[in-house]
Structure 1
């Protein structure tokens, strides 16, 4: 009998598999290494107070990033989320004397309405998402300033409104629980429902999806409405945490959300993405700036908020370049 030699995986296939794993799990590995670095270098880094503060503060950005994930997976973009969140914070603060639930429902409803308008224009008038949401960014900012009278609106502290942003259960902030619940629902919706499959199909090829009979327009409307509603929820958290509606807040939040989505591995071209990876990407960005704050406290470096924005932009650029390189390697290996 002729001895059989063990089959070996060709080198291009191994490289493609490695690139795939790096693209999928690289952000999680980076987060784990960064947390380990912080735990070894800084006293109190893993304290309940610091972990709770990071989760609570970054819940706003995480909620916006969740909505942005679905938008980007369709091949679109939503530049209006920061302004919509600012408007929702004002509406929530105005309604706060009536209690948390009316304020929450009212603010999220207003934000969802603006998202619905975005979706209708993009889906049925075929206006580019960039142009449509840029216009909504300006409109929502103007509405926020007019509604607030060009100043912060104090929230009511006597009817439970601030509990959402400042309260906790067994040391876990309500904001963090809300964030985790939203991402759990989003992950289930993406992976187990027709809506999730339609989102990925549209991002892969919108015209092919339309020819296949998928409800492209209805799905796009739902996606942008969802993005608006989650931005509204983030705005309620903003007002609840800081005790005031902030019409001038939210500037650049859309870029932070896009960064979290891209860092998590969702392709800007659409059709590929993961809700769980977006959560890890949002936490990674939050932990990076938490580490910088600890480093500032040690006196090793002194970085202003402006420098932190520069670091955020540079980090996003590096991640996009790495994503492109990994995707290119997978494509070349697959062709072999």
Structure 2
């Protein structure tokens, strides 16, 4: 009974308190970094930099939101970067028919890959790491085959590129609008629907969740399909915003998503997490790289794009170590 009670209560006050503390910590870090950058760089708070920053990072936020649900169940999805690349190539091929066709096609690519991941995990009982690793390789290979190992130009005569380059009311880029809608949907799904409680319960204790009568496989199926769909949507943004399907893009994006989720306080072991903190974590990581770009512009430092992976990896390692120490301290008490 104690196990069942713990699983039932985990999505409640304990999780909200944890999420609140984590969100406060990330917000403080964001405030400090923003203050520093605004004082150091004249154009940092300009409309152009803010909107460009948000538009570009919308892709990472989308896959981070999907990854958050996956990690909250105690799983992992290593395929999202490859799915982004595959989706971008496929939608570039159909971009001549406009965004009305390309958008659902891109999402369908993600849903299809997510469904395959879900079936392999829930029906064949393959651990998520191996299942999504196989999809990562398969989706990347499919993207290279379809594209002929080269970028696929999109149609500039249709309205396809308006999705990535256009703005709503000539102010807010459409990728930002789309990201905010996806964030609202994911927040509601976690906080207001039984699906979110089931996700957290499974991450807290999958066996106890089965004893409670929860549809564990159905929930896991939904989580991986959602992750795939958001990755597919990110692929549409990539092709539309950069004017080409990129079969080699998305390398390491799964690590960016994991980093954003972990920085936001979601436990890699599952059972605790926050959509809001994941959003803030993704923005925090993006902000660090935005500052590095400004420093490069000033000539103070000269970091190549490869340094982003090094910094992201180091940042992730530090956060995971802190998480592990906090968990060990709680167990000790």
Q: TM-score, normalised by structure 2?
A: 0.92
Report the CA distance between 1:158 and its aligned residue.
Answer: 1.6
Partner of 1:289: 289
2:69 and 2:21 map into 1 onto residues whose CA distance is 22
Q: Which residues in structure 2 correspond to 1:13-162 (within 5 Å)? A: 22-162=21-161
Report the CA distance between 1:152 and its aligned residue.
Answer: 0.8
Partner of 1:234: 234
Q: Which residues in structure 2 correspond to 1:268-279 (within 5 Å)? A: 268-279=268-279
Report the CA distance between 1:280 and its aligned residue.
Answer: 0.3
Contact 1:203 1:269 in 2 (8 A): yes
Structure 1 residue runs of 5 or longer lacking an equivalent are 1-17
Q: Secondary structure at the match of 2:300?
A: coil
Report the CA distance between 1:327 and its aligned residue.
Answer: 3.6
1:73 and 1:282 map into 2 onto residues whose CA distance is 16
Partner of 1:210: 210
Partner of 2:190: 190
Report the CA distance between 1:147 and its aligned residue.
Answer: 0.9
Deviations 1:119-166 (A, max 9, x none): 011012110000000000111011111111111111011211111111
Contact 2:87 2:106 in 1 (8 A): yes
1:323 and 1:37 map into 2 onto residues whose CA distance is 27
Contact 1:19 1:326 in 2 (8 A): no
Structure 1 range deviating more: 79-88 or 323-332: 323-332
2:172 and 2:69 map into 1 onto residues whose CA distance is 27
Report the CA distance between 1:328 and its aligned residue.
Answer: 3.8
Report the CA distance between 1:22 and its aligned residue.
Answer: 4.8
Change (3 A) 1:19 1:178: closer
Report the CA distance between 1:23 and its aligned residue.
Answer: 3.5
Deviations 1:230-259 (A, max 9, x none): 000000000000000011111100000000
Report the CA distance between 1:37 and its aligned residue.
Answer: 0.8
Contact 1:78 1:254 in 2 (8 A): yes
Equivalent pairs counted in the alignment come to 316
Q: Secondary structure at the match of 1:158?
A: coil
What is the alpha-carbon root mean square deviation over aligned residues? 1.5
Partner of 2:10: none
Deviations 1:75-130 (A, max 9, x none): 00000000011000011111111110111111211221110010011012110000
Q: Secondary structure at the match of 1:130?
A: helix
2:52 and 2:190 map into 1 onto residues whose CA distance is 29
Deviations 1:54-78 (A, max 9, x none): 1000111110001000000000000
Partner of 1:317: 317
2:133 and 2:19 map into 1 onto residues whose CA distance is 34
Q: TM-score, normalised by structure 1?
A: 0.91
Structure 1 range deviating more: 249-258 or 26-35: 26-35
Point out the structure with max Rg over C-alpha: 1
Partner of 2:199: 199
Contact 1:76 1:129 in 2 (8 A): yes
